[in-house]
Amino acid sequence: MTPNVKGALLMMGSMAAFTINDALIKAAGADLPLFQMVAMRGVLATVLVYLLARHLGALHLNFPRQDKWLVVLRCLTELSATFFFLTALLHMPLANVTAVLQALPLTVTLGAVLFFGEHIGWRRVMAIFMGFAGMLLIVRPGPDGFSVYSIYALIAVASVTARDLITRRMSHRVPSLTVTLATSLSITLAASVATLLTGWTPIPQDAGLMVASAAIFVLAGYLFSVMVMRAGDVGFIAPFRYSSLIWALGLGWVMFGDWPDTITMIGAALVVGAGLFTLFRERVNHAAE
């Protein structure tokens, strides 16, 4: 197996794991409050990440103070992304929310231009506008298709974009699993505090099993995503992130009976197409340097 094929499989595995986690949380949300689910999933996920990080020797704080502040900021943006994404997920079709998230390569590229002064050509600028047009078709900002949860999905995209831009500013001395553990722990603590206000409800066996399974899939997603960065050419591997939309379509139909309408599918196609073109142009520009 070549490194590129291995990386592509790992990327698809990561996207599958994260999307299955989303589907399980959405299903369990019919019986459990949001913060209780996040706290339950977080305890198990945090323990598993800690054990994995200790096993790999990737747990230490021996990196510059500036990076430590960046880790804190990343945790805060992840908290925001988790709340707004999961709230939107519980009230919108799985495929719709997943399709909105496919705009991340575009928003991260735009953020790098606005905040880091990176240069992009007119082709990628046009691709970004096309992707945003597709995103508008998905969230439908009109009286018929729009809801407050569409805004939540967009805020989640903005939060994840900020998280990824902060991650790009970290030095290579920061272990990926240390960041993952800090993120998981902060989300678990925040959700646990929130449950003091919202209270706990009895846990049905099926819902408890789904939340526990979601924690395992989250860990698998994080693990695969770390392994991806160590295998193959990023320019070749990155487009396979869009396989999450295929999983979302299938799981949404099988588990919830949801299938996007034609306008949503057109919007998703525009977002994915624009993202793929942006990744292609980045690869061409790197090859020319």
Question: Over the stretch 175-221, which tens digit does the pLDDT of each residue have?
Answer: 888 888 999 999 999 999 999 988 889 999 999 999 999 989 988 88
CB-CB contact of 286 with 129 (8 Å): no
- The whole-number pLDDT of residue 231 equals 67
Lowest-pLDDT range of 7-21, 212-226, 246-260, 261-275 = 212-226
CA separation for the pair 39, 21 (Å, rounded): 14
Annotated domain spans of the chain: 3-288
Does the pLDDT of residue 229 top 70, yes or no? no
- The whole-number pLDDT of residue 20 equals 96
How many whole angstroms from its chain centre is CA 169? 19
Most confident of 57-61, 109-113, 152-156, 282-286: 152-156
More confident position, 239 or 282: 239
- The whole-number pLDDT of residue 288 equals 60
What is the tens place of the pLDDT at every residue in 30-54?
A: 999 999 999 999 999 899 889 888 8
pLDDT, mean of residues 226-235: 67
What is the tens place of the pLDDT at every residue in 112-125?
A: 888 878 788 888 88
Residues 6+ apart with CB under 8 A from 274: 106, 127, 128, 130, 131, 134
Query: The pTM is what?
Result: 0.86
What is the tens place of the pLDDT at every residue in 169-184?
A: 888 888 888 888 999 9
CB-CB contact of 76 with 242 (8 Å): no
Note the helical H segments in 57-121.
65-91, 94-101, 104-116
Residues 6+ apart with CB under 8 A from 262: none
Does the pLDDT of residue 111 top 90, yes or no? no
- The whole-number pLDDT of residue 146 equals 63
Sorting pLDDT into bands at 50, 70 and 90, what band is 235? low
Mean pLDDT across the chain:
87
- The whole-number pLDDT of residue 40 equals 92
Does the pLDDT of residue 93 top 80, yes or no? yes
- Write down how long the chain is: 289
Note the helical H segments in 140-204.
148-169, 176-198
